[in-house]
């Protein structure tokens, strides 16, 4: 199975996807079905999303109060993980959002939505070889090639302003797209490290130490914060959120296609976009090759009358040249992680209401079940997850969705979400990985989304 070969989770909001009672589901598929006339999100409370995860060791693995020596647990955790294991944090906070239907008055089939949200996204792969070198040194690792690419990390704090258009072409087909302006507040990017370090048995001496390194860390928005003379204030942060950071552009597209009365197919592609980092940029790089076999103090190879100290100074200079990072302020571009969602859905179980003859197609069925696929680009390899779900309208204004998600490290991810309407106020709450909540510190992934909206639907009974 495809999902088996790749680790996953993170920004997968599998419960919210397709949950059309909740306006924020349009963020996951701009071509999703809309069943309100207008809405606005309660500012700062309309969408709160938190997700943290590790594909490797958990907090409990390392910090359990179990009498085992901390360093033993740390060593075990290091041994257990490989360089494809990662830690990730994703957090979103919607600052404001809204949407309204428009078009011909008797059948408003177009919908415009917009909003501004803040997003923090951090991913760091486990730098296995660096950890081994730090833990053990090279003495017991002669001939072991230490890979520089094991260090790979990206952290970004951005704000996203977006406007989306959605059109229901006919009762069987809806499409939509969304334009996005990104404003990056902070970015740290070190995903292009290459090279190796190895200690081999030497020809002239015990060892030959071979450095072949190409390391790179790119930052934006950091220097102004960390400088001693920094005059950074909160108002500068506000400015960066409102297009004052490093800017980028992106888009989302999506559709929903009704195949039969009961079968529906939908898909979306999100965050196809980039950010150009030109302001407040500082990049560091270490590049070069060096072989060190030791020094020959009495008979320098050059035989140019060089003293041993001159010879040694040259080696020191070479080392310094290799390891002193070059600092540049070159503009760079980062790509946003692209997300792909698709699902096939089957609706069933008609509502039996004797006193109502106004059943709409969309609301005619009480149940739905389906399969969803989520994929997302990441620095080393894409993350993929497959979800099976069951959706049920419990009673008027209250619906729930239960999910089961699989990926390579977890076959027991159960989640649940509810959406409740109390008058015009909509509230939703969803979380996954329920089985891991029995010891949250041992959870490899914890995800929570909640929010409040004010929704007006004139088609409601």
Partner 1 sequence: MIKNICFIICTSFFVLACTEDIDFDQARDFEINPVIESSLVFFNENANEFLINGNEISAFQDFVIVDIFNDQFIIDNLVKTEFKFETVNSINRDFELQVDFLDNNSQLQHTFTFIQEASTNNNDVFSSYTETFEDVTLEALKRTSVLIFTLRILPGQTINENSLGRIELKSLAAFYFNIRDDS
CB of 232 to partner 1, least distance (A): 29
CB of 429 to partner 1, least distance (A): 5
Q: Cβ distance 320 to 260 under 8 Å?
A: no
CB of 220 to partner 1, least distance (A): 30
Q: Which residue has the tokens 């296995």?
A: 128
CB of 118 to partner 1, least distance (A): 20
* 104 versus 423: smaller Cβ distance to partner 1: 423
* 105 versus 423: smaller Cβ distance to partner 1: 423
* 348 versus 437: smaller Cβ distance to partner 1: 437
Distance CA 443, CA 51 (A): 11
CA-based nearest residue to 58, from 451, 427, 409, 313: 409
* 231 versus 320: smaller Cβ distance to partner 1: 320
Cα 432–437–442 angle (5° rounding)?
Answer: 110
Residues with Cβ within 8 Å of 47's Cβ and at least 6 positions away in sequence, in order, are 24, 27, 41, 92, 93, 94, 97, 117, 449, 451
Q: Cβ distance 447 to 453 under 8 Å?
A: no
Q: Which residues of the chain form contacts with partner 1 (CB under 8 A)?
A: 42, 59-60, 63-66, 69-71, 74, 133-140, 142, 199, 202, 204-209, 292-299, 307-309, 312-313, 420, 422, 425, 427, 429, 431, 434, 437-442, 448, 450, 452
CB of 78 to partner 1, least distance (A): 10
* 165 versus 454: smaller Cβ distance to partner 1: 454
CB of 40 to partner 1, least distance (A): 14
CB of 64 to partner 1, least distance (A): 6
CA 460, chain centre distance (Å): 36
Look at the chain and count its residues.
461
* 345 versus 433: smaller Cβ distance to partner 1: 433
* 338 versus 416: smaller Cβ distance to partner 1: 416
Q: What is the DSSP string of 124-173?
A: EE--HHHHHHHHH-STT-TTPPEEGGG--EEEEEEEEEEEEEEEEEETTE
Q: Cβ distance 86 to 209 under 8 Å?
A: no
Residues with Cβ within 8 Å of 317's Cβ and at least 6 positions away in sequence, in order, are none
Distance CA 4, CA 95 (A): 37
């Amino acid at each position: 199975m495809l999902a088996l070969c790749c680790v996953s989770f993170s920004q997968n909001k599998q419960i919210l996807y397709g949950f059309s009672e909740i306006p924020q589901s349009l963020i996951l598929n701009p071509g999703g079905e809309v069943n309100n006339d207008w809405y606005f999100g309660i500012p700062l409370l309309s969408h709160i999303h938190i997700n943290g995860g590790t594909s490797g060791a958990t907090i409990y693995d390392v910090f359990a109060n179990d009498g085992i020596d901390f360093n033993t647990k740390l060593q075990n955790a290091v041994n257990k993980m490989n360089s494809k294991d990662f830690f990730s944090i994703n957090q979103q906070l919607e600052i404001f959002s809204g949407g309204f239907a428009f078009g011909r008055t008797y059948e408003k089939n177009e919908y415009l939505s917009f909003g501004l949200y803040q997003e923090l996204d951090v991913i760091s792969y486990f730098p296995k070889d660096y950890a081994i070198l730090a833990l053990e040194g090279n003495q017991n690792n002669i001939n072991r090639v230490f890979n520089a690419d094991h260090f790979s990390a990206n952290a970004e704090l951005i704000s996203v302003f977006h406007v989306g258009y959605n059109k229901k072409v006919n009762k069987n087909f809806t499409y939509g797209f969304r334009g996005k302006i990104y404003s990056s507040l902070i970015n740290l990017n070190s995903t292009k490290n290459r090279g190796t370090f190895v200690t081999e048995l030497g020809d002239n001496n015990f060892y030959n130490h071979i450095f072949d390194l190409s390391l790179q860390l790119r930052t934006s928005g950091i220097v102004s914060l960390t400088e001693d003379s920094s005059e950074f204030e909160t108002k500068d942060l506000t400015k960066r959120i409102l297009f004052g950071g490093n800017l980028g552009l992106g888009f989302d597209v999506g559709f929903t296609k009704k195949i039969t009365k009961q079968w529906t197919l939908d898909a979306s592609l999100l965050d196809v976009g980039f950010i150009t980092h030109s302001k407040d940029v500082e990049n560091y790089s270490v590049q070069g090759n060096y072989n060190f076999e030791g020094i020959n103090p009495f008979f320098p190879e050059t035989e140019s009358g060089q003293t041993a100290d001159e010879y040694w100074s040259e080696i020191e200079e070479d080392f310094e040249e290799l390891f002193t990072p070059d600092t540049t302020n070159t503009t760079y571009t980062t790509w946003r992680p692209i997300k792909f969602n698709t699902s096939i859905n089957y609706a069933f179980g008609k509502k039996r209401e004797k006193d109502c003859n106004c059943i709409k197609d969309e609301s005619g069925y009480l149940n739905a079940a389906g399969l969803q696929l989520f994929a997302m680009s990441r620095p080393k390899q894409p993350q993929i997850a497959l979800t099976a779900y069951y959706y049920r309208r419990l009673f008027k204004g209250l619906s729930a969705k239960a999910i089961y998600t699989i990926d390579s490290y977890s076959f027991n991810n159960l989640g649940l979400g509810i959406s409740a309407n109390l008058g015009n106020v909509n509230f939703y709450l969803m979380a996954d990985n329920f089985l891991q909540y029995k010891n949250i510190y041992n959870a490899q992934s914890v995800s929570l989304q909640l929010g409040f909206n004010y929704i007006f639907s004139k088609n409601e009974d």
